[in-house]
Amino acid sequence: MLYALGAISGGLSLWVEDGKLSFEYNLYEIERTRLDTTAPLPTGKIKIEVETRVASSAHAGALDIVIRVDGKEVAKGRVPRSTSLGFTANDAFDVGRDSYSLVSFAYYDRKPFAFNGKINRLRVE
């Protein structure tokens, strides 16, 4: 699974590698925040949630990130600074691959790093 928004210059990405989830928030190459799960994902149909909450009312403040699998918290962390603007307007919102300019160097050499499973539904609120 790969969910990516933005470019190597900035964005966020969620992907599966070696059976585990990874999330990266790339603040325009200034600062990167990465969260990794420690346990492998269960097999079969699962529900993955990434909750992002504004942790600070400051302009471009911190974000608290919680990742859940089937309702169970599997990783959490804080992005110390966020962008005050949207990510790159001329890039793509990709699901299942990072097809244009990559968010994370973790899979840079495997572009477009396509997910080979099935994504039944994506909901962004």
Q: What is the DSSP string of the chain?
A: -EEEEEETTEEEEEEEETTEEEEEEEETTTEEEEEE-SSPPPSSS--EEEEEEE---STT--EEEEEEETTEEEEEEEES---SS-S-TTS-EEES---SS-S-GGGGGGTT----S--------
Residue 100 lies in a domain: yes
Question: Is the confidence at residue 110, as pLDDT, over 90?
Answer: no
Give per-residue pLDDT as tens, 80-98: 988 876 665 556 677 888 7
Single pTM value for the model: 0.82
Total domains in the fold of the chain: 1
Q: How do 2-7 and 93-95 pair as beta strands?
A: antiparallel
Q: Is residue 106 part of a domain?
A: yes
Residue 122 belongs to a domain: no
115 occurs within a structural domain: no
Residue 119 lies in a domain: no
The whole domain housing 101 covers: 2-110
Q: Evaluate whether residue 75 is within a structural domain.
A: yes
Domain-embedded: residue 36: yes
Q: Is 66 part of a structural domain of the chain? A: yes
